[in-house]
């Protein structure tokens, strides 16, 4: 999901609150972001949609919502697209490996585990590109390396059963919103 961090960065710039403060506040918001849904497609709808003409959407906003709910909704929106992508690309997947800036955050990992209903594995090095480059170079040099040799598992987050249940309902609403947004973008409504 190419704009996951950028979406939180956008909220940070918009609200004047730091990235870390937004995530801390979002952690205190219950699943479903108090009725706010986000389709964080700031650079078009990437996987699994591949629709450059689609744009970000927030639904269910009221004057009672603030930065914490918007942040939680963005994180959930990213997690729903991750789960949708996994269902298409790897339906028999046993776990989800995370990398990048969000990999170090407990909220992100817990949310991904619950939404995907899979254990989430974090490795020692969060920069997957460098690890991949090391594996390619090792292979070219004739070394017999696996990802565990270069980047061992640092931790595993198991799905929280009550969160898995809560996110099934929110996911259904997100699926409906996504279908409507994609239809609207096709009809030049944007």
The tens digit of pLDDT for each residue in 67-96 reads 999 999 999 999 999 999 999 888 888 888
Exposed / middle / buried, residue 18 (Cβ in 10 Å: 0-12, 13-18, 19+): exposed
Does residue 140 surpass a pLDDT of 70? yes
Q: Which residue has the tokens 């992100």?
A: 108
Does residue 21 surpass a pLDDT of 90? yes
CB 171 within 8 A of CB 80: yes
Domain that holds residue 20: 4-186
The phi-psi region of residue 142 (left if phi > 0; otherwise alpha if psi is between -120 and 50; otherwise beta) is left
Q: How many domains does the chain have?
A: 1
Q: Look up the pTM and report it.
A: 0.88
């Amino acid at each position: 999901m190419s704009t996951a961090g950028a979406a939180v960065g956008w909220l940070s710039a918009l609200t004047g609150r730091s990235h870390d403060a937004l995530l801390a506040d979002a952690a205190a918001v219950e699943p479903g972001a108090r009725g706010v849904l986000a389709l964080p497609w700031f650079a078009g709808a990437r996987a699994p949609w591949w629709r450059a003409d689609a744009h970000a959407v927030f639904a269910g906003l009221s004057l009672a919502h603030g930065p914490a709910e918007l942040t939680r909704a963005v994180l959930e929106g990213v997690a729903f697209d991750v789960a949708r992508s996994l269902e298409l690309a790897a339906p028999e997947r046993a776990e989800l490996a995370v990398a990048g800036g969000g990999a170090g955050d407990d909220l992100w990992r817990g949310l991904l585990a619950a939404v995907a209903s899979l254990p989430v594995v974090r490795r020692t090095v969060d920069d997957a590109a460098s690890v991949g480059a090391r594996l390619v170079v090792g292979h070219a040099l004739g070394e017999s390396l696996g990802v565990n040799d270069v980047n061992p598992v640092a931790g595993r987050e198991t799905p929280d059963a009550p969160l898995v249940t809560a996110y099934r309902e929110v996911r259904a609403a997100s699926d409906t919103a996504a279908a409507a947004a994609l239809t609207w973008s096709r009809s030049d409504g944007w």
